[in-house]
Structure 1
Amino acid sequence: MAQPLTRRPLPPSRRPPPLSPEEIQGRVLYRDGLILVIDKPAGLAVHAGPSGAPNLEECFDALRYGLPRPPALAHRLDADTSGVLVLGRHPKALSKLGRLFSGRDTEKTYWAIVEGAPPAEQGVFEWPLLKVNTRNGWWVKASDKGQPAVTRYKVLGHGPGMTWLELKPETGRTHQIRVHCAQAGCPVVADRLYGAAKPGQLLHLHSRAIVLPLSKTKPPIRVEAAPPPHMIEALMACGYVPADHSR
């Protein structure tokens, strides 16, 4: 008996992008001649990885807006994190953004729903972070042998068994917020690496806003992304009022 035909997955260069041109363009929060800021969806890697899974870069061709080349990533977000992501539209813009992100000239604000609560209503997490590589993969841990890492936090609300935090990382270490929250005894909800995976739930970490001082003669650019649908229920349990329910 003949074996049934199976469809092979398209190679990355030929498969359709994970978001249509209309979908990715609908996520543009800000655009000028230098940069684009988009609202990254949770659960999608920003660039290609060893698994060959779909990634956000595959969508960037739809974001040229008349330029000869698509934009490129100016920084990174974890695959499971949603929210504000900055792209440079050409090499000169990427160089400028690289200098901003390598220093402390940008201000990033994240929202997280964490299990339990941090030790105080506001404070600073300052554990150095070390990346650990093994045959089975890698992760990050707090270690005196690691690189300095600083995250300022403030409680915005409390709910049953959880807390809504505003977090402002002053350094940009990999998984910094996730490891700092876990080390403080309040891991981010649905964090499968540093907390407890929750079937059917996405990580409750959102890149809420960014401030970019791109010009010396103009005010800094501030861009904000609304929280994603998967975080709304927990946020409301902690006191968040969505914009369309504020009246």
Structure 2
Amino acid sequence: MESHFTVTVPAEGEPERLDQFIVRSLDGLTRSAVQRLIDDGRVTVNGIVEKASLKLKGGEVVAVEVPPPAPAVPQAEEIPLDILYEDGDVVVVNKPAGMVVHPGAGNPGGTLVNALLGHCRDLSGIGGEIRPGIVHRIDKDTSGVLVVAKNDRAHDGLARQFHDHTIKRIYLALVFGSPREDKGRVEGAIGRHPTDRLRMSGKARHGKRAVTHWKVLARYPGLSLLQLRLETGRTHQIRVHMAESGHPLVGDELYGGGGRLANLRDPVLRKLIRELGRQALHAKTLGFVHPVTADYLEFDTPLPDDLQRIIDYLESVAGG
């Protein structure tokens, strides 16, 4: 279970950095651990997420959430995988919705890493004990293609391509509403939401540059099917960009996609979306240069059945 601590900064005394105050006030937390908690949005000052260097002047209420420790080493598990490609350096998988990429608080097992360790047992060590071989992630409830490194040379080569934004990443998303244009580009700085640590925001004070290119593939009553290309790859990037553009993803409760469901008049469509139970987002295409052979590889995955059922229904209504 998470531990919650609340400390009021004494009114007297010299101004002190937020991270230094927490280290001094709470036993058992190192400076680096406190920095991670702050970066993860688990520390608030008067209810607002702040940076580590904030100077506390006295009277502020500092709240800290400390998650339970994750298991030291993921265990290999015999979990079926949809493997699209594998050689001695990389493995490319089609991740199902509902599977977490690596172990963490609340998800000690049943992850993609556990499944991969059960399958190949020779993942790159660069990602650390918890994230061996992991070069990039997609959200638990997002389906689609993902590449994993099997050795450190492959990990380094893939990480460089992600850093340089040369990886081809194409997603499909079903969103609420109908964009005025047929295609466009969203750019902004995405960072942790100032008050909700579970969410990211384009209005964060300390965000990182994020760019999403989008194109309308189909328009339906109340919904649109979009193709999206990531130029950068920030946490929840597509979900944030679409929500803040006024077109949240269907089924995305965290970013406002749930509240729009009542606006749809078709009861069958509403039922299909409720059965989906997740954001309507699929990582369709991944293209990269093989980090060892230098060959260009590209993988394309079809929509999973739950999303395809909704599209098929929308097409049947539109054509009927």
Same fold (TM over 0.5): yes
The equivalences for 1:1-247 within 5 A come to 17=77, 20-21=78-79, 23-24=80-81, 27-53=82-108, 54-64=110-120, 68-69=122-123, 72-132=133-193, 134=195, 137-143=197-203, 145=205, 146-197=207-258, 199-200=274-275, 201-214=277-290, 219-237=295-313, 239=315
Change (3 A) 1:144 1:203: closer
Contact 1:159 1:237 in 2 (8 A): no
Query: Which structure has the greater CA radius of gyration?
Result: 2
Q: Which runs of 5+ in 2 are unaligned?
A: 1-69, 125-131, 259-272
Change (3 A) 1:235 1:69: same
Change (3 A) 1:216 1:37: closer
Q: Name whichever structure is richer in helix by fraction.
A: 2
% same residue: 32
**Which stretch has the larger CA shift, 110-119 or 213-222?**
213-222
Q: Secondary structure at the match of 2:193?
A: strand
TM-superposed deviation, 1:133 = 5.9
TM-superposed deviation, 1:62 = 2.9
TM-superposed deviation, 1:191 = 0.3
Q: TM-score of the superposition, structure 1-length normalised?
A: 0.80
- For residue 265 of structure 2, what is the aligned residue in structure 1? none
- For residue 245 of structure 1, what is the aligned residue in structure 2? none
Q: TM-score of the superposition, structure 2-length normalised?
A: 0.63
TM-superposed deviation, 1:216 = 9.4
What is the identity, as a one-letter code, of the residue corresponding to 1:182? A
Q: Secondary structure at the match of 1:72?
A: coil
Q: Secondary structure at the match of 2:308?
A: helix
**CA RMSD of superposed structures (Å):** 2.7
**Residues 111-140 of structure 1 deviation map (CA, whole Å, 9 limit, x = unaligned):** 001111223110101132121265x63311
What is the identity, as a one-letter code, of the residue corresponding to 2:310? A
Q: How far apart are the structure 2 equivalents of 1:237 and 1:128?
A: 36
